[in-house]
Amino acid sequence: MTPRVIDHKGGVWSIAVPIPDNPLGHTLVHLLETDRGPVLVDTGWDDPDSWDTLTAGVTACGFALADIHGVLITHHHPDHHGLSAKVRGTSGAWVAMHAADSAVVRRTREARPGQWLDYLLAKLTAAGAPDDHLAPLREARAAGRGRRLPGRRAALPDRAIAPGELLDLPGRRLRAIWTPGHTPGHVCLHLEEEHPARTPGSGRLFSGDHLLPGITPHIGLYEDPDDTTPTDPLGDYLDSLERIARLAPAEVLPAHQYAFTDADTRAEQLIAHHEERLSDLRALLREPRTPWQLATAMQWNRPWDQIPYASRNIAVSEAEAHLRRLVKLGHAELLPGNAPQRYQAV
């Protein structure tokens, strides 16, 4: 198999590592040459084909996987962090991640069987999900089937990526930009070096899933079964987008799809998309609705009855993230009584 590798010049390559059975298709793993050896930004999904592609890709860039010096992870999702343990095992590389996402990795590894299903059942019940949606989850729980989470075997990082930090990469200037929203510890990595084609702007940005050219990343709740502190991931995301727009990178190297140049335009589009959603939701909340009812009434990329089961859970999470934002802005409130939760515009 010939790996799809792009030489972005100036010691930066991308390797398209396949994600099995996923409409996203690939994770773009980036390789950054340093004076201490190649460093990877993300690693790809933990699957034999993906591993073979990554190995062949590193070779096509002119290096060997055994020489990888370090691994920088934009966020904990399995299409980014899945192969980190294998890369570390083969090369002895360190693995670095923001502490908030390392905490998710640790929690997922240590979760007792069934904990996630219990959390999901309680959450969806409170959100007003109907019995026919809850039944399969109850059956799975009763049968002792803890959903096999891909994160169970994920690598615990060796290093923390601190916000604003200039990373210790000999010969390179790479700065960590904390961009919470898609996950609590998502980071973008800003290569503060002149663009190799002298494209105007401030260096290049490895944007992970934060800024993608044609996809709106999922913004849900941070979903921590052990922590009931109300967070505001959508508010975090919108702030993070503004931060990236202000950086004005000459080129964005995202973890999916393709590289692109107009970061601020893309950030503005995403901000406008969410503002539109927020105002649509506010209109829907003129009458009291549960998060489930809101999710079924929201605009998705297809009608609700065609949305697959697991995606409906993600949709409810997305509706809840928008609700949190409206509540925080004082545009909606949780009505008294909590079985199930009902919200109304104020």
CB of 45 to Zn ion, least distance (A): 9
Cβ nearer to Zn ion, comparing 74 with 290: 74
CB of 78 to Zn ion, least distance (A): 9
Contact segment (CB under 5 A) with Zn ion among 140-148, 206-214, 227-235, 260-268 equals 206-214
CB 113 within 8 A of CB 144: yes
Contact segment (CB under 5 A) with Zn ion among 71-79, 98-106, 154-162, 319-327 equals 71-79
Cβ nearer to Zn ion, comparing 184 with 249: 184
Contact segment (CB under 5 A) with Zn ion among 29-37, 110-118, 195-203, 207-215 equals 207-215
Interaction between residue 236 and Zn ion (CB under 5 A): no
Query: Residue from 47, 79, 101, 251 that binds Zn ion (CB under 5 A)?
Result: 79
Query: Residue from 101, 209, 236, 320 that binds Zn ion (CB under 5 A)?
Result: 209
CB of 210 to Zn ion, least distance (A): 9
- Number of residues counted as binding Zn ion (CB under 5 A): 3
Taking residue 41's Cβ as centre, other Cβ atoms within 10 Å add up to 26
CB 236 within 8 A of CB 180: yes
Long-range contacts of 336-343 (CB under 8 A, 24+ apart): 338/126, 339/126, 340/125, 340/126, 340/127, 340/128, 340/290, 340/292, 341/126, 341/127, 341/128, 341/290, 341/291, 342/128, 342/288, 342/289, 342/290, 343/285, 343/288, 343/289, 343/290, 343/291, 343/294
Taking residue 252's Cβ as centre, other Cβ atoms within 10 Å add up to 25
CB of 53 to Zn ion, least distance (A): 16
CB of 217 to Zn ion, least distance (A): 6
CB of 315 to Zn ion, least distance (A): 16
Residues 6+ apart with CB under 8 A from 166: 173, 174, 175
Query: Residue from 26, 30, 69, 77 that binds Zn ion (CB under 5 A)?
Result: 77
Query: Among all residues, whose Cβ is closest to Zn ion?
Result: 77
Interaction between residue 46 and Zn ion (CB under 5 A): no
First vs last Cα of the chain: how many Å apart? 58
Interaction between residue 30 and Zn ion (CB under 5 A): no
CB of 228 to Zn ion, least distance (A): 23
CA neighbor of 294 nearest in space, from 285, 286, 303: 285
CB 273 within 8 A of CB 265: no
Contact segment (CB under 5 A) with Zn ion among 28-36, 64-72, 94-102, 201-209 equals 201-209
H/E element, 343: strand 343-345
Binding site for Zn ion (CB under 5 A): 77, 79, 209
